[in-house]
Structure 1
Amino acid sequence: MDKLEFEDLLERLCQRLSKESRDSDEHHKPSKFEARVRTVMGELLVGTGQEAAPNVDQGFPDIVVGKFGAEVKATESNSWRCIANSVSEGQRSLAVEQIYVVFGKFGGIPEVRWASYGDSIMHVRTSHVPRFEIEIGTENSLFAQMGTSYEEFRQRPMHEKMPYIRDYARGRLKPGERLWWLEDTELDEAGHSLPLEVRSILQLSAEEKKSIRAEATLLVPKIFSPSRSRNKKGAYVDVAMFYMTYRGILAHQTRDFFSAGSVGENGATGDYVRDATNRIQDEMRAAALYLEDALFLEYWGYVPERSSVILDWLRLADEMASDWTPSDELFLAEQGKS
């Protein structure tokens, strides 16, 4: 099978999966979608002498067909953009010469598209490890910005990739921002645990502060624990670590960011954390849709269904609060209360 034949197969695959996804939501979950892609690809390969084999090492890409590979991605949002694989590609199949991405977009009008994996990479971000971000149809390839190609970049060892990433990050810095990685170092596959750009929380606009407070409140319901409890102390550590490792924000006094009078002023109860949360319900609703599954897994211990994030959060918050019941006051519409 040559390149044109494999791309024709991908086109037929995506046409079929697009129709299926509009007729039924049975395979909209990422884990189910990958299995369905492999099944349909196998059916289309009948009679070609090829088969759609999984990457037996659970590595990269997800599916191997001879010298070609397909990395499967899916999102329940109305976007062609998502986080992709580690920059290191440490578990890449050696048999694969060219990789494509098969992307299922199940928000809005469901559709499945394919594209060259390298051409779809448009950003590199760091949370726990440097990871690519892809967008189907992007006109601004990351590697064009870096002055190299995906094929050339991927073959370099990690310590040779980092200068490209730092130069790219420097070009995106805003006034007052600094790179966190300053020196060339030999990095292992895990990379670095902190983002490249770090800002003080004092530099943020009022809207940015409100947004990241909503994110942290959603991820860390322990902030409603009694003031002298171990959970309360741990909550602010969790928040500070989230801001530093995921948002690149240095929070000097995390407790004050949630409990100072300025964030809950003019509230009905006089409990600043409680009143402040009442004021960020819309921001929390938004965060419930865009925060990554990996964050919920890290902070909650499991990945909730997107449709039930708010209700799950209310249950967790009710368990933590001792002198009030969050579900009596917050997100009443989601609970079917007037």
Structure 2
Amino acid sequence: MIVSINPKPNISEFRKLMWRMDILLNQDARRRPQYYATRSGNPLEDDVKEALDECAKGTPFANTIEKVSGQKFPDIVAAQYYGVEVKSTKDNHWTSTGSSILETTRINEVERIYMTFGKLGGDPIEFLSKPYEECLYGIAVTHMPRYLINMQLRPGETIFEKMGVPYDKLRQMENPIAPVAKYYRSKLKPGESLWWTGDSTEETVSATIRLWKKLTTDEKKFFTIYGCVNYPEIFGGNYDRYALWLTSQGVVDSHIRDQFSAGGQEEMLLSTGERAKFPGVYRRIKANSDLFIHRMRQEDTTVLVDRAVLQPSELNKKLLAWADAVSQQAPVDYNLSMDALKTYFFKVRDGKEDHLWERVKW
């Protein structure tokens, strides 16, 4: 990269440079439409750089324009501080898929970026440049979350204005995916899920798909207990949200009900000393109590998010909050379900409470 001997030019000067470049490119495109119809990618970046060099003559940007080699963002740098990202489409519209929201390859010195977009289909072929953040209206996921470009956005229509997070703030976040996932999760309709981010904004999701029958026994136990802890409606036979989450983890189960109900009913001890029969899903907790308590100790038990702000150390409260959520969903009497679960978790032996979680060693 060429180091500029000039002091950092003002943004208004860079804006004028981009405006002049658009005029030059559009004039040339009218003269040579067939030439530009064949250009894209690196060759088009060369065209933009050449136009910038021409327009920079006699300005503070003269001799500072540099096309950056390798997979860097943005494609072209001017006077170290400014950048130009070049995108195009062969269709007759102003939209396309842009760069990664993570910006892990961003050149550190560059603070202000413009988007130069070539509409290389239709008649006429045209070029348009705008501040980068004013051209991005949404997020799409390919192998990573990427911005969606629309060069004809109106004020208030950028993804940053929709989220309420400025571009410069988002790009400097340690985890920019978190506010993006939060925004798109708030727009979900019943029965929808973000396949690319899981339930937690910190959660990693799988890039591959496997059938349930191909999982190891330990993996099956983990997913089943995760479902029991985080999706209380499972105890009422509703597997929709869990099925969506399981898919986000790269697992497809065509017989998902069997994860929880196979094996028939389960007897549970009541506080009176009597025994009552409950759906087979209750057996999953009893048979995997160590995994269940381990999961309940985690901070991201989503069923508790809207019920109370609890720390992992407050396991008694978490267990009771979870039991309440399950009992509201279960196809048995609420009081009966709460009694059975409390008796299981908080047995009294020799006049002393014997908490289940104290017997589980992790």
Structure 2-normalised TM-score? 0.50
Spell out the pairing of 1:4-23 with structure 2 (5 A cutoff): 4-23=12-31
- How far has the Cα of 1:90 moved from its partner? 0.5
1:149 maps to a residue whose letter is P
Q: Does 1:166 align with 2:181?
A: yes
- Which residue of structure 2 lines up, in the alignment, with residue 90 of structure 1? 104
With over 3 angstroms needed to count, the CA separation of the structure-2 counterparts of 1:182 and 1:54, relative to structure 1, is: same
- Which residue of structure 2 lines up, in the alignment, with residue 58 of structure 1? 71
Spell out the pairing of 1:102-251 with structure 2 (5 A cutoff): 102-108=116-122, 109-139=124-154, 140-158=157-175, 161-180=176-195, 181-185=198-202, 193=207
With over 3 angstroms needed to count, the CA separation of the structure-2 counterparts of 1:91 and 1:193, relative to structure 1, is: same
C-alpha contact (below 8 Å) 1:129/1:193 kept by paired residues: no
Q: Structure 1: which 4+ aligned runs deviate by more than 3 Å?
A: 191-194
C-alpha contact (below 8 Å) 1:127/1:193 kept by paired residues: no
Higher relative contact order (CA 8 A, sep 6+): 1
Q: Which runs of 5+ in 2 are unaligned?
A: 1-8, 209-246, 255-362
Distance in 2, Cα, partners of 1:183 & 1:13: 45
| SS of residue matched to 2:21 | helix
With over 3 angstroms needed to count, the CA separation of the structure-2 counterparts of 1:8 and 1:155, relative to structure 1, is: same
Structure 1-normalised TM-score? 0.53
The structure with the largest alpha-carbon Rg is 2
Distance in 1, Cα, partners of 2:110 & 2:182: 29
With over 3 angstroms needed to count, the CA separation of the structure-2 counterparts of 1:174 and 1:184, relative to structure 1, is: closer
Distance in 1, Cα, partners of 2:253 & 2:27: 48
- How far has the Cα of 1:174 moved from its partner? 3.4
- Which residue of structure 1 lines up, in the alignment, with residue 44 of structure 2? 33
Distance in 2, Cα, partners of 1:192 & 1:162: 16
Distance in 1, Cα, partners of 2:152 & 2:93: 11
- Which residue of structure 1 lines up, in the alignment, with residue 302 of structure 2? none
- How far has the Cα of 1:89 moved from its partner? 0.2
- How far has the Cα of 1:192 moved from its partner? 6.6
With over 3 angstroms needed to count, the CA separation of the structure-2 counterparts of 1:48 and 1:58, relative to structure 1, is: farther
Q: Which runs of 5+ in 1 are unaligned?
A: 195-243, 253-338
Distance in 2, Cα, partners of 1:72 & 1:22: 19
Distance in 2, Cα, partners of 1:3 & 1:182: 41
Higher-helix-fraction structure: 1
Distance in 2, Cα, partners of 1:128 & 1:193: 8
Distance in 1, Cα, partners of 2:206 & 2:142: 9
C-alpha contact (below 8 Å) 1:104/1:112 kept by paired residues: yes
RMSD after superposition:
2.8
| SS of residue matched to 1:26 | helix
| SS of residue matched to 1:157 | coil
Distance in 2, Cα, partners of 1:186 & 1:172: 19
Deviations 1:95-154 (A, max 9, x none): 111000011112222111111101211101112111111111212110111111000000
C-alpha contact (below 8 Å) 1:21/1:106 kept by paired residues: no
- Which residue of structure 2 lines up, in the alignment, with residue 319 of structure 1? none
Distance in 1, Cα, partners of 2:171 & 2:22: 27
- How far has the Cα of 1:57 moved from its partner? 4.2
Over the matched positions of the two proteins, sequence identity in percent amounts to 30
- How far has the Cα of 1:168 moved from its partner? 2.0
